[in-house]
Structure 1
Amino acid sequence: MQEVELATLPRLSVVIPNHNYAAYVGSAIRSALDIRWPNIEVIVVDDGSTDHSLDVINEFADEVTIISQANAGQMISCVNGFRRSSGDIIIFLDSDDALHPDVMTEIVSVWSKAASKYQFQMRVIDAEGKPTGNVLPQYFSCPSSEDVRKWMATTGAYPTPPGSGNAYPKWFVERVFGFESDFIDRAPDSYLLAAAPACGEIVTITKPLADYRVHGLNHGAFLQLDDTRFAREIDLTRRRYKFFSEIARTEKLPVAPDALKSNLLFLCLRIASFKLRPDLHPIAADSSLSIAVDALGAAASPQGFSRSQRISLLAWIFCILISPQYFRRALVSLRYVPAQRPKWLRALLGRLRIIR
C-alpha cells in the first residue's frame, strides 16, 4: 500500500548547477537531501570547476546524481541537469543557496494542474549563513495569478524571488527550454521567470522556504556598489521582456510594446545607469526629462508594489535626478546595497510599510 501511495506522489527533482562554489555547494546539496519528502532526486552539475568543488560533491556520490562537464555556463548546466531528471516538479537550486525542509510539503498544499510556477519567499543570509533579517520578495499582500499576468503584460515586472525561490512543473520547463529565441542569458532564471505568467498560473507562497546567500560574488545581489552593472541589468531586462513577448504571442496574450516605461524597477536601473555611468548607458538619446516623465506614469501603474512603495521609489528616482554628483552614489548605494542602510533608515522604511 505504501508503494502505491508513494508512486502517486509528485516527484521532486532538485538540479544544482555549480561552478567554483566549493565553500557553499555542500550546504546546498545537504539542504536538498534534507527536504522532508519521500519522492525526490538531487542532480548536481559541476560546470568545469577549478577549485575543490568536485571533492565536496563526490562526498555525496551515494545520494545524488553527479554530472561533471567542461565549463559551458549556468544555462547549459541547468539544461543538462534537467535532461537527466525524472521529476514532476523541478527546482533549480543555485549552489550558494539552500532549500528549507518543508518546501515540497508547502508546494503540494497549494497544488494546481494549471500552475506554471510556484514561487516562495527566500530568507536572506550572509556568507556565513547567518540571517540578515531580510526576505525576498517582501509581500504586503499575496498577489493573484491574474494580477501577476496583468502586471507582466503591462509593465514587464511582477514580484518574484530569485531563481532558487521557484519550482516549476516539468511540462513548463520543457516548453521554455525548447522555445526558439535569440535570448541567450547566463542562467535559466530569466527565461523561466519571464515566460511563466504567459503559460499558466503563478502560485505564490508568502513564507520563506529557501535561503538566498549574499556573499559579494552573486550575479544578482550587491554587497558593495558596482556601477558598471546597471548597463548590463538594463540590457538583461529588455531582453527578458522581449522573450516574454515572444512567448506571450504564441499564447495569444496581448502585451504592451512600451511596457518597460511603466516598470519602476527598470526605471531605477535606468536612472542609476544614466547618472552614474553615462558612458556605459545603453539607451540612446535618453534624458533626465524622459526618465522623469516615465517615472510619474510608472508610479500610477500597479505592478506588485504598495502605494507607499511606489511613492518611495518615485521619490528616490527624483532625488537621483536633482541631487549633486557627489551625493548620487550614496543614494544609489542605499537603494541597491541593503547592508549599507543605517538602522534608523531601516526602521523608518519599516514604519512607512516600504519594507518589512
Structure 2
Amino acid sequence: MISIITPVLNGADFIENNIKSIEKLTIPFEHIIVDGGSTDGTLEIIQRFSNVKVIHQKEGRGMYHAIHLGFKESIGDIITWVNSDDIILNNGFEKLYTTIVNSKSDVVYSDAFFINISGKRIKNVKGRYFAKFLLKNGIFPFIQPSAIFTKKLYYKVGGFDFINFKIAGDLDLFYRFSLLKEVKFKKIKKYSVEFLKYGDSLGDKNTVLANKERDRANIPIPTLIIRIFNKIVSL
C-alpha cells in the first residue's frame, strides 16, 4: 500500500481536485490530509469524501511537521506527499508504485507537468537521470510529488528536520537519502503529477529563506560543470 499525505492550510480553492485525482487510483492506497487550522471552508469540502483520513495539526510547526504527522499515522510501506494544489495523474502514479514494489529501488521518480492557475499545462519537466549524483551536488533532479519512497528509508535518515527547515525540507530529505551508499534511485518515463506554479506558493514567496536553509544544511552549491551536466541528462 502507498500512503499519500496532503498538508493543507486554507486550500479550499484546490483541495477538491486534489482529492478527486487521488480517488481515481486503482492501486492500494490511503489518503491522509493534515490540516493546519483552515478557516476558509477546506474542512467542509474534505468532509464530503469519506475515504479521506483527516489529522488536525494542533501546533503551528509548519508544512514538514504536518507531513511527518501524516507519515506517523500512515499504514503503507510506501509513502509520499502531494500538496493540496497539485494533481496526480493516475496512470503515471500507478506506474511509480508498481515499479517500486517490483524492484529493489528505494526511491522511484518520474516526469511532471507545471500547470497555471487555470489548469493549463505550461511546461513539461523531465525527471533527470543520475538522481543520486545530482542530489549529492545540490540539484533537485525531479519535481517532488513525482517521487515516492519507502517508509523504511524515511525513518532510516531520521525523517524531516522540521525544526530547522520550513521551505527546503524536501531538498534536505532527498539529499540525505542520496548520501546512503546502499540507497537505489530509479527513474521511469511517465508523467505522474501536475504541479501548480502561480507565484503564490510557499516556496515562491520565500526564496531568500530557502537559500538560507540550504546554506544551513551544507548542501553543495551547484557548479557550472554540474549545471551543464544537469541540462545534458535531462532527457
Q: C-alpha displacement at 1:111, in angstroms?
A: 4.2
Cross-structure match for 1:208: 191
Where relative contact order (Cα < 8 A, 6+ residues apart) is larger, the structure is: 2
Q: For the Cα contact (< 8 Å) 1:157–1:303, is it kept in 2?
A: no
Cross-structure match for 1:84: 73
Q: For the Cα contact (< 8 Å) 1:78–1:188, is it kept in 2?
A: no
Are residues 1:99 and 2:88 paired?
A: yes
Could you tell me how far apart the structure 2 residues matched to 1:27 and 1:124 are? 16
Distance 1:240 1:63, change over 3 A: same
Q: C-alpha displacement at 1:46, in angstroms?
A: 0.7
TM-score, length-normalised on structure 2? 0.85
Q: For the Cα contact (< 8 Å) 2:96–2:108, is it kept in 1?
A: no
Cross-structure match for 1:292: none
Cross-structure match for 1:237: 214
Between Structure 1 and Structure 2, the one with more strand by share is 2
Cross-structure match for 1:323: none
Distance 1:194 1:28, change over 3 A: same
Quick one: which of 54, 57, 77 aligns to 1:66? 54
Quick one: which of 138, 143, 159 aligns to 1:156? 138
Give the AA of the match of 2:153. Answer: F
Quick one: which of 198, 201, 205 aligns to 2:179? 198
Q: For the Cα contact (< 8 Å) 1:190–1:240, is it kept in 2?
A: no
Give the AA of the match of 1:52. Answer: G
Alignment of structure 1 residues 149-298 onto 2, 5 Å: 149-153=132-136, 155-161=137-143, 163-178=144-159, 183-186=164-167, 188-199=169-180, 200-221=183-204, 229-242=206-219, 259-260=220-221, 263-264=222-223, 298=224
Q: C-alpha displacement at 1:106, in angstroms?
A: 3.8
Cross-structure match for 2:231: 305
Cross-structure match for 2:4: 14
Deviates more, 1:93-102 or 1:113-122: 113-122
Could you tell me how far apart the structure 1 residues matched to 2:227 and 2:173 are? 24
Q: C-alpha displacement at 1:219, in angstroms?
A: 2.6
Deviations 1:275-304 (A, max 9, x none): xxxxxxxxxxxxxxxxxxxxxxx2377642
Distance 1:178 1:111, change over 3 A: closer
Give the AA of the match of 1:218. Answer: S
Q: For the Cα contact (< 8 Å) 1:36–1:105, is it kept in 2?
A: no
Question: Which one has a bigger Cα radius of gyration?
Answer: 1
Q: C-alpha displacement at 1:112, in angstroms?
A: 5.9
Give the AA of the match of 1:87. Answer: G
Q: For the Cα contact (< 8 Å) 1:44–1:66, is it kept in 2?
A: yes
TM-score, length-normalised on structure 1? 0.58
Cross-structure match for 1:31: 21
Q: For the Cα contact (< 8 Å) 1:116–1:196, is it kept in 2?
A: no
Distance 1:207 1:50, change over 3 A: same
Q: For the Cα contact (< 8 Å) 2:159–2:173, is it kept in 1?
A: no
Q: For the Cα contact (< 8 Å) 2:135–2:174, is it kept in 1?
A: no
- Structure 2: 5+ residue runs without aligned partners? none
SS in 2 for 1:21: coil
Q: For the Cα contact (< 8 Å) 1:31–1:99, is it kept in 2?
A: yes
Between Structure 1 and Structure 2, the one with more helix by share is 1
Quick one: which of 22, 26, 37 aligns to 1:48? 37
Q: RMSD over aligned Cα, in angstroms?
A: 2.7
Give the AA of the match of 2:84. Answer: S
Q: Number of residues paired by the alignment?
A: 231
SS in 2 for 1:115: coil
